[in-house]
């Protein structure tokens, strides 16, 4: 981290976003505003790259009220046009069709948890298609390395401007960009259920994960945990396998 320069990184990413948009023939960016640090950083970078041609979409789905409050703080901080779309009823209806007993039994399995990010992906692409914008993802290097995202959910995007940055670098960039303090300091969470946090679900801290990614340094238990997650999620980082790919 000692050689990480947030100002230069901001300039590099903003220039890259403009180049990618020009090459693809799109004029702006749609992104989810979750109230978390990654989406806040992406909002600021997109604002700098595309000016008014951006849309932050707030997509609560049985979410904590503070998530929406923090998302609005970010929108205000970076003068971001926003659209609030509540997905609670859609989620409840779809889950009721797919598994009528899930809510009554209090299930929290992967299939149920992944419905939320996949509904958000659909919502973002609807907005982007209407506007001829990119869907800009908020995944960082730490999460992508271990597959801590939902395939065709928050992983379903057109472009990933902070995918090369580990979480600590994202925090440094957030400080530089002026992300609201409340957002920087809150424990990272995907908001999949009440009280859920990234680190508890992954079983490693971001500090441990970042250090291992950047230096290879970790105690055996942590190293094995990270390598296991990395191996199990390899399919997320590749195009779908086909027989043709074997040749």
Question: Quick one: pLDDT band at residue 110, thresholds 50, 70, 90?
Answer: confident
DSSP per residue, 58-74:
E--SS--HHHHHHHHHH
Taking every pair of Cα atoms in the chain, the longest distance, rounded to a whole number of angstroms, is 53
Would strands 29-32 and 54-58 be described as parallel, antiparallel, or unpaired? parallel
Task: Given CATH 3.40.50.620, say whether it is the number of domain 6-246.
Answer: yes
User: What is the phi-psi region of residue 216: left when phi exceeds 0, alpha when psi lies from -120 to 50, beta otherwise?
Assistant: left
pLDDT > 70? residue 190: no
Q: What pLDDT is attached to residue 43?
A: 98
Query: In the chain, where are the structural domains located?
Result: 6-246
pLDDT tens for each residue of 158-178: 999 999 999 999 999 999 999
Q: Which residues contact 40 (CB under 8 A, 6 or more apart)?
A: 33, 74, 77, 78, 174, 177, 179, 180, 183
**If you average pLDDT over residues 138-154, what whole number do you get?**
96
pLDDT > 80? residue 107: no
Percentage of the chain beyond pLDDT 70 is: 92
For the chain, the average pLDDT equals 93
Angle between helices 37-50 and 167-177 (to 10 degrees): 50
pLDDT tens for each residue of 45-87: 999 999 999 999 999 999 999 999 999 999 999 999 999 999 9
pLDDT > 60? residue 193: no
3-state secondary structure (DSSP) of residue 121? helix
**If you average pLDDT over residues 93-110, what whole number do you get?**
78
Q: What pLDDT is attached to residue 189?
A: 67
Task: State how far the Cα of 84 lies from the Cα of 59, in Å rounded to an integer.
Answer: 6
């Amino acid at each position: 981290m000692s050689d990480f320069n947030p100002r230069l990184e901001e300039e590099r990413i903003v220039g890259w976003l403009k180049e990618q948009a020009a090459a693809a023939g799109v004029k702006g960016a749609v992104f989810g505003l979750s109230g978390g640090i990654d989406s806040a950083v992406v909002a600021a970078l997109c604002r700098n790259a595309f000016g008014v041609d951006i849309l932050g979409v707030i997509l609560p789905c049985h979410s904590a009220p503070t998530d929406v409050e923090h998302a609005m703080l970010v929108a205000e901080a970076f003068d971001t046009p926003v659209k609030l779309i509540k997905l609670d009823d859609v989620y409840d209806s779809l889950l009721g069709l797919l598994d009528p007993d899930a809510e009554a039994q209090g299930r929290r399995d992967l299939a149920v948890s992944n419905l939320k990010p996949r509904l958000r992906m659909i919502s973002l692409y609807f907005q982007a298609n209407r506007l001829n914008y990119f869907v800009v993802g908020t995944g960082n290097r730490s999460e992508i390395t271990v597959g801590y995202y939902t395939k065709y959910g928050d992983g379903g995007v057109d472009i990933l401007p902070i995918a090369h940055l580990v979480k600590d670098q994202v925090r440094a960039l957030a400080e530089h960009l002026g992300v609201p303090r409340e957002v920087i300091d809150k424990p990272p969470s995907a908001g999949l259920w009440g009280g859920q946090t990234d680190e508890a679900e992954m079983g490693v801290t971001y500090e441990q994960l970042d250090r291992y990614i950047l230096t290879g340094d970790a105690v055996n238990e942590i190293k094995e945990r990270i390598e296991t997650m990395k191996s199990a999620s390899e399919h997320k980082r590749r195009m779908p396998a086909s027989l043709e790919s074997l040749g």
